[in-house]
């Protein structure tokens, strides 16, 4: 099965996140066929990686997500079922990506106490799904996720609304709830407030996957990733 990374602008770490994510994929993932990267060119992809340039047309991160997935489907021959991944996700245990689990974390919120655009995208997804009599599980866990080409493209009405809404709709939650996907609960793990490598190591203990925030990179995360994944993957040109 193919793997798609959607890559945006503004990496404070010069896209080194993607290097380590690819290394974790090579180390732990079985049944990986081709790697696709859509978005900005990080400048170090090996020739066999299929790169599709795509901008961020806005108005929301959610719609940029939709845009890049659709550009990949329209412009490449990516497999019918493919694994969507992010540059800041890192696998920590062996997994067959053809059987990668679907993970949720509770239900979509009805209100938010913060002003984060991400929270509003969850609320918008909840309202859209309820309007159409669909489940409202929150599938926005920081881990990979399997999409299917035809099913993704068939949600045209949802993606049109995602483009119009200021904060968009949480894409994975719309997609997986619409098709009634079943999954399992997973406590989310995105490292942000860790202060050193000891805290980082403790936070990811026993995890099969974790993610990072930019704020954590200088506080032990960069060191830990280099220790876990020191060798370049076949999908990158060495530094």
List per-residue pLDDT tens for the chain, 239 residues long.
999 999 998 888 999 999 999 999 999 999 999 999 999 999 999 999 999 999 999 889 999 999 999 999 999 999 999 999 999 999 999 999 999 999 999 999 999 888 889 999 999 999 999 999 999 999 999 999 999 999 999 999 999 999 999 999 999 999 999 999 999 999 999 999 999 999 999 999 999 999 999 999 999 999 999 999 999 999 999 88
Q: Are 27 and 91 in contact (CB under 8 A)?
A: yes
Please give the tally of structural domains in the chain.
1
Task: Look at residue 55 and tell me if it is in a domain.
Answer: yes
> Could you give the 3-state DSSP secondary structure of residue 181?
coil
Looking up residue 212, the CATH number of its domain turns out to be 3.90.550
How high is the pLDDT of residue 173? 98
For β-strands 81-85 and 2-7, DSSP reports them as parallel
The range of the structural domain enclosing residue 208 comes to 2-110+140-167+184-228
Burial of 228 (0-12, 13-18, 19+ CB in 10 A): middle
How high is the pLDDT of residue 181? 97
- Measured between alpha carbons, how far apart are the two ends of the chain, in Å? 28
Q: Are 101 and 144 in contact (CB under 8 A)?
A: no
Task: Look at residue 20 and tell me if it is in a domain.
Answer: yes
Pick from 157, 188, 189: nearest CA to 174 = 157
Task: Look at residue 238 and tell me if it is in a domain.
Answer: no
Which pLDDT tens digit goes with each residue over 96-130? 999 999 999 999 999 988 888 999 999 999 999 99
- Residues ≥6 apart with Cβ < 8 Å to 183: 101, 102, 103, 104, 137, 139, 176
- pTM for the structure as a whole: 0.96
How high is the pLDDT of residue 10? 80
Q: Are 170 and 134 in contact (CB under 8 A)?
A: no
How high is the pLDDT of residue 113? 83
How high is the pLDDT of residue 58? 84
Task: Look at residue 155 and tell me if it is in a domain.
Answer: yes
Task: Look at residue 118 and tell me if it is in a domain.
Answer: no
């Amino acid at each position: 099965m193919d793997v798609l990374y959607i890559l945006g602008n503004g990496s404070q770490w010069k896209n080194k996140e993607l290097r380590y994510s690819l290394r974790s994929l090579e180390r732990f993932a079985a049944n990986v066929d081709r790697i696709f990267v859509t978005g900005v060119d990080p400048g170090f992809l090996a020739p066999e990686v299929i790169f599709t340039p795509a901008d961020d047309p806005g108005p929301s991160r959610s719609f940029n997500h939709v845009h890049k997935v659709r550009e990949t489907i329209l412009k490449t021959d990516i497999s019918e079922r493919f694994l969507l991944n992010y540059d800041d996700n890192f696998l920590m245990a062996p997994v067959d990506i053809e059987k990668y689990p679907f993970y949720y974390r509770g239900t979509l919120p009805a209100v938010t106490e913060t002003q984060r655009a991400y929270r509003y995208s969850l609320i918008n997804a909840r309202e859209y799904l309820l309007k159409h009599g669909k489940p409202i599980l929150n599938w926005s866990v920081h881990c990979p996720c399997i999409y299917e080409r035809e099913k993704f493209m068939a949600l045209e009405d949802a993606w049109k609304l995602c483009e119009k809404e200021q904060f968009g709709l949480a894409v994975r939650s719309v997609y997986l709830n619409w098709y009634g996907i079943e999954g399992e609960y997973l406590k989310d793990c995105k490292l942000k407030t860790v202060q050193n490598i000891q805290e980082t190591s403790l936070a990811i203990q026993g995890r099969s996957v974790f993610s990072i925030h930019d704020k954590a990179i200088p506080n032990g995360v960069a060191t830990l990733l280099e220790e876990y994944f020191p060798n370049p993957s076949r999908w990158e040109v060495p530094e």
